[in-house]
Chains A and B, each alone.
Chain A
Amino acid sequence: MSELSVNHLLGIKYLNKQDIQLIFETADHFKEVINRPIKKVPSLRDITIANLFFENSTRTRLSFELAEKRLSADVINFSSAQSSVKKGETLIDTVNNILSMKVDMVVMRHPNPGAGVFLSKHVKASILNAGDGAHEHPTQALLDSYSIREKYGEVKGKNIVIVGDILHSRVALSNIFALQLQGANVMVCGPKTLIPKYIDKLGVKVELDLRKALNWCDVANMLRVQNERMDISYFPTTREYTQQYGVNKEFLDSLDKEITIMHPGPINRGVEITSDVADSKQSIILEQVQNGVAIRMAVIYLLASKIKH
């Protein structure tokens, strides 16, 4: 087994194909570990990890914390809501103060794109990006690809459509990079106002008609409409969005073939997908969550192995 080519996980665009392969193979071992009666290994008992969340999160935060604890790392948590950031402290000061408590690795979510890259240049710790604004969310993309690999055996050659709010989605961007690295065909689908102008430069197909997109794909990754990031109205009403880009069971059953439904969460039930779709046999949403822990264990383990005493 080789090493990761990077010392930080800032985004998928910094990884190569071998890195992704290595992360997946390592995650396979951790998936076996987390299904044991005792789900813990002592590998990282001398590593301390700080989870810095400058933006709200449930799934990612719990998933990271669980992954860290399963690896026996010491964990400290920070959320900006109850912190001195509110008193005007800068990001570097906040992080350096935390690092002076002998922290080896920082898992950070931040509303500003590039916050992780910025931090990696200014502080001495391994940085793991858990989402930076509308830029990247690498572990989500890795677990999405891993879930596709688990379902179909490989990602290469599969047709994947990402549906919904592409413009505000870090999940979309990281997924596009990750899927293309592995040789999948990627399409985005959504209202024209929610598809970024530069999208054709990324080499992905664009389709505005959801039925055509779903008939083309093997897997549909349904994104949430990120109302909190919308400063103007991008579509007339939620009801109209649902009519054009929402998936219900009837619609799913009327397609030419059986497709797999994914969703990074949190789901707006009844907006992008209905409950019967989210809970259907075709949905692998809960597998994604389980795989998230294994993937994060793999990434943390591989990054930690590059921290030398």
Chain B
Amino acid sequence: MSQKVLLNAKEVNIILHRLACQLIEKHNDFSNTVLIGLQPRGIFLANRIAKILKNDYKVKNIQLGFLDITFFRDDFRRSDKPLEANSTHINFLVENKTIVFIDDVLYTGRSIRAALTAIQSFGRPSEIELLTLIDRRFSRHLPIQPDYRGRQVDVINDEKVKVNWVENDGEDSVYLINK
């Protein structure tokens, strides 16, 4: 197994600030926008973006939630490993809001499809956007594309993209792992 650094801590930081700025450009004061991090790995990115918006760009009233999509996935009983559920924390209404889904890696698009179904349990949003740190090009199974992307990478199917976060993995970095 070999691995290669795609992004180091400094590069991740620059990208996070750029993504935050792009969000501000589109959503102004976030009065009608909510951020939803997708469990399990999207929550770190969502937390980080929300923190940058609050601390560095002084955006007040950021509404942040976490959505678990386990029970909405289309590979129940098809994958070898049992599907592990995580908790959902959405303590606001999404009715008529603009939602920004946040996930670390966009790969086949199936997680996002599940998230699009799962969020319907919380109301009818007016619009849904997608923000991902890494966009794996050429590997989509569904017609889903991000609205905000950190870095687009060309990765073959045997390779894995691993995103690390300081708070969970000890460092901010993105690795390309060759299995």
Contact = CB atoms under 8 A, between A and B. Distances in A.
B77 interface: yes
B122 A41 contact: no
Nearest to B69: A41
A71 B70 CA distance: 12
B108 to A, nearest CB: 18
Given A1-B85, A32-B88, A41 B77 contact: no
A25 B85 CA distance: 9
Nearest to B94: A37
B138 interface: no
Contacts of B72: 41-43
Contacts of A33: 71, 88, 121
Contacts of A1: 82-85
A33 B72 CA distance: 12
B78 interface: yes
A308 interface: yes
Contacts of A28: 87
A309 B71 contact: no
B31 interface: no
A134 B76 CA distance: 35
Interface in A254-309: 301, 304-305, 307-309
A28 B71 CA distance: 13
B87 A307 contact: no
A38 B85 contact: no
Interface string B77-104: 1100011111110000000000000000
- Determine which residue in A39, A41, A71, A304 has the highest number of CB atoms from chain B within 10 A of its CB, and name it: A41
A44 B74 CA distance: 10
Of B72, B78, B82, B86, chain A has the most CB atoms within 10 Å of the CB of B82
Interface string B58-71: 00000000001011
A2 interface: yes
Contacts of A25: 85
Contacts, number: 56
Nearest to B121: A38
A301 B77 CA distance: 10
Given A41-B72, A305-B82, A309-B77, A29 B87 contact: yes
Interface in A32-76: 32-33, 36-44, 46, 71
Nearest to A308: B77
A248 interface: no
Interface string B133-172: 0000000000000000000000000000000000000000
Query: Which secondary structure dominates where chain A touches chain B?
Result: loop
Contact of A37 (B83, B87, B117, B122): B122
B87 to A, nearest CB: 7
Contacts of A308: 77
A304 B77 contact: yes
Given A3-B82, A38-B121, A41-B71, A305 B87 contact: no
B120 interface: yes
Interface in A115-131: none
Contact of A40 (B73, B86, B121, B123): B121
Query: Nearest 9 A-B pairs (CB), nearest first?
Result: A41-B71, A1-B84, A38-B121, A29-B85, A43-B71, A36-B121, A3-B82, A43-B76, A305-B82
Interface of A: 1-3, 25-26, 28-29, 32-33, 36-44, 46, 71, 301, 304-305, 307-309
Interface of B: 68, 70-73, 76-78, 82-88, 117-118, 120-123
Given A26-B85, A38-B121, A39-B121, 13 more contacts: A28-B87, A33-B71, A36-B121, A37-B123, A38-B120, A40-B121, A41-B118, A42-B117, A43-B73, A46-B77, A305-B77, A307-B77, A309-B77
27 contacts: A2-B82, A25-B85, A26-B85, A28-B87, A29-B68, A29-B71, A32-B87, A36-B122, A37-B122, A38-B121, A38-B122, A40-B121, A41-B71, A41-B118, A42-B72, A43-B71, A43-B72, A43-B73, A44-B76, A71-B71, A304-B76, A305-B76, A305-B77, A305-B83, A307-B77, A309-B77, A309-B78
